[in-house]
Amino acid sequence: MKNNCQQRFDTLFIVTTIQHMQLLTSEQIHSWDTYTINQEKITSLDLMERAASGCITWLEHHYINRHFIIYCGKGNNGGDGLALARLLLLKHFTAEVFIIESHHKGTEDFQANLARLEQTGIPVTFLRSEDQFNLVPPGAVLIDAIFGSGLNRPADGIISNLINHINDSGNDIIAIDIPSGMFADKTSKGNSIINAHHTLTFQTYKLALLLPENEEHFGEVHVLAIGLSPVFLSGLKTMFEILDKPLIRSIYKPRKSFAHKGSFGHALMLTGSYGKMGAAVLSSRACLRSGAGLVSVCIPSCGYDILQTSVPEAMAIPDTEKNYLTKNSTDADLSIFNAIGIGPGIGTQDATAEAVDYLFSRYTLPVVIDADCLNILAKHTELFKKLAPLSILTPHPKEFERLFGKTENDFERIILAKSKAKELQVIIILKGHKTLVVMPDGKAYFNNTGNAGMATGGSGDVLTGILTGLLAQKYKPESAALLGVYIHGMAGDYAAEKKTQESMIASDITDSLGDGFRELST
């Protein structure tokens, strides 16, 4: 029997058994629908029935003996809602439908599903004014089928007021495809938007469902397969992909039986300062646990005893300076190191900034840059010119802002990240719940492992160690970035199972890396 974590991963990636989860625009998704209809010789009504059936299957597993209230617009999303109401009746649920009246009759598929629904006896009310808004009974489940992913202008008038009415009900709210009022491919800030507890989206994520600015609106997202043709995706160019297990397994390199420690590289970590030696311990332990054969750690001399005691497997290189790193830390032969990670806990003293400059001038392989080293880069932008191509930068949103400037919303931040990755020829890992990995060629990936328990001090230090360890093992920088963020999140998911999200600390992630690697290897 699979453990709970394995079952959750299998559920999360239900669609990826068909293909990697490419992230399509709303226009591409519409084309995908059309292609499937033409290839399979089915009607758009048949496809709508598949979507409604997928929703029914999910609802049956989550709700028993509940009354459903379905709010529909007159587009195809409303048609999905009408089909869903009819299927709910067949499953012996009770339901009622409210349709927002407008000057047009609705799409052809909406009208066809309305005619089918009228044969069932399910109560249907056409909303012409706010006076008709129903008093929502406690315990009823509200289904949002007002707008789909093709929305191109903010909701207003009666629709905006209905959205507020639904949000104020206090009932469970399920959005079909995407919460109404939310744009799929651009910012929705300032819009009236449904605050769903669950969003049932079809076949693949929409970009808006992956961004922090929309979190309060989409709740938990569930991707439902509706049988869209995978052939359509062959050769299709998309701006984004979702990291999934098949892709990560194609990157992961199992160990060979006759390998030795030299086979897995020598990593150097430059970490720590007075009062921040925990960052050195966390990053170097993670580097070792990620599989590096040898790990050396440059530290200020005040951290020598701490590191030797806490991470006996690592080799300490103490600086002559007691409290922070200087050029003396990097005055050794750097050519013996297969990868270098720098930043956790080092501070931003002028002498440490000089050490960073000295390192970048002498080391020609990609480096992993995090935390205070990012802050040094932000203060000394001339250092960008000395970065080796394909170096990996790992900022959280505030560090990203210090590096590259403010943006108005998450969509602008993504555009800026892609622009800077190309300009500087670096890999940018924008950390968050759905960490974004941006490559210099413009390709970008959202990670789908990890949880809110990882929002704790030191989690980023652990990621830095993992990435450096993978680079040391001669993974290409692009592969190290993708595998690193995925296994980091996967270990976080295992740690949350053992410890709960609330009680997790960063070292729990490192301690669970073995569970993640075991899953990838089986």
Tens digit of each residue's pLDDT (9 = 90 or more) over 168-222: 999 999 999 999 999 999 999 999 999 999 999 999 999 999 999 999 999 999 9
Q: What's the CA gap between 466 and 485, in Å, rounded?
A: 9
CATH number of 245-251+263-521: 3.40.1190.20
H or E segment to which residue 496 belongs: helix 477-499
CB 378 within 8 A of CB 356: no
Q: CB of 68 within 8 A of CB of 92?
A: no
State the sign of the Cα–Cα–Cα–Cα dihedral 185, 187, 192, 193.
positive
pLDDT of residue 17: 35
Quote the pTM value.
Answer: 0.93
Least confident window among 96-105, 191-200, 421-430, 437-446: 96-105
Classify domain 15-239 at the CATH superfamily level.
YjeF N-terminal domain (3.40.50.10260)
pLDDT for position 103: 82
488-508: average pLDDT: 98
pLDDT tens sequence across 253-296: 999 999 999 999 999 999 999 999 999 999 999 999 999 999 99
Q: What is the pLDDT of residues 21-69, one digit of tens each?
A: 899 999 999 999 999 999 999 999 999 999 999 999 999 999 999 999 9
What is residue 484's DSSP assignment? Answer: H
Strands 240-242 and 21-23: antiparallel
As a whole number, the mean pLDDT across the chain is 94
Mean pLDDT, residues 411-440 taken together: 98
pLDDT tens, position by position, 117-163 = 999 999 999 999 999 998 999 999 999 999 999 898 999 999 999 99
- Give me the pLDDT at residue 104, please: 85
pLDDT reading at 1 higher than 50: no
pLDDT tens column, 420-431: 999 999 999 999
Decide if pLDDT at 71 tops 50.
yes
pLDDT at 20 over 90: no
Q: What is the pLDDT of residue 354?
A: 97
Amino acid 469: pLDDT: 98
d(CA 144, CA 148): 10
Q: Helices 4-12 and 513-521: crossing angle, nearest 10°? A: 60
Task: Check if the beta carbon of residue 25 is closer than 8 Å to that of residue 152.
Answer: no
Considering only residues 19 and 500, tell me which one the structure prediction assigns the higher pLDDT: 500
- Listed by start position, the domains of the chain span 15-239, 245-251+263-521
* pLDDT at residue 21, rounded to an integer: 81
What pLDDT, in 10s, does the model give residues 340-381?
Answer: 999 999 999 999 999 999 999 999 999 999 999 999 999 999
Same fold, 15-239 and 245-251+263-521: no
- List the structure tokens of 499: 């410890």
Tens of pLDDT along 303-350?
999 999 999 999 999 999 999 999 998 888 999 999 999 999 999 999
Q: Which helix (H) or strand (E) holds 50?
A: helix 44-62
**Residue 165 is which amino acid?**
H
pLDDT at 450: 97
Tell me phi and psi for residue 137, to 5 degrees: -70, 145
